[in-house]
Amino acid sequence: MTGESVDIPSRVYDEEPGECPGPGLTGTQRLILHCLYSRHHDGHVRQRHLEALLSPTEPWVVPYVIQQAGEYVREIQEAIRRGLPGITVPHSPRRRLYGAFIVRNAEFFARTERRAVSYWACYHRAEYPVFGASPGGVLMAEFRAAATECAGTAWPRHTPRPVAAALTPPCAAAARPPSPGSRP
Q: 2 vs 28, 60, 77, 101, 163, CA distance in Å?
A: 17, 8, 25, 8, 37
Instruction: Please give the angle made by the CA atoms of 14, 20 and 22, to the nearest 5 degrees.
Output: 80
- pTM score: 0.83
Question: What pLDDT was estimated at residue 165?
Answer: 46
* Phi and psi, residue 154, nearest 5°: -55, 130
CA 119 from centroid of its chain's CA atoms: 12
Inter-residue contact 17 to 33 (CB < 8 Å): yes
Other C-beta atoms within 10 Å of 149: how many?
Answer: 19
The Cα 34–Cα 49 span in angstroms is 5
Inter-residue contact 119 to 71 (CB < 8 Å): yes
Other C-beta atoms within 10 Å of 52: how many?
Answer: 17
Per-residue pLDDT of the chain (184 residues; tens, 9 = 90+): 566 777 788 888 988 887 666 678 899 999 999 999 999 999 999 999 999 999 999 999 999 999 999 999 999 999 999 999 899 999 999 999 999 999 999 999 999 999 999 999 999 999 999 999 999 999 999 999 999 999 999 999 999 988 764 555 555 444 555 555 544 4
Nearest to 36 by CA among 72, 61, 19: 61
The Cα 58–Cα 41 span in angstroms is 24
Question: What pLDDT was estimated at residue 112?
Answer: 97
Question: What pLDDT was estimated at residue 71?
Answer: 93
Helix, strand, coil distribution of the chain in percent, nearest 5: 60, 0, 40
The Cα 75–Cα 105 span in angstroms is 25
* Nearby residues of 165 by Cβ (< 8 Å), 6 or more positions away: none
Other C-beta atoms within 10 Å of 99: how many?
Answer: 23
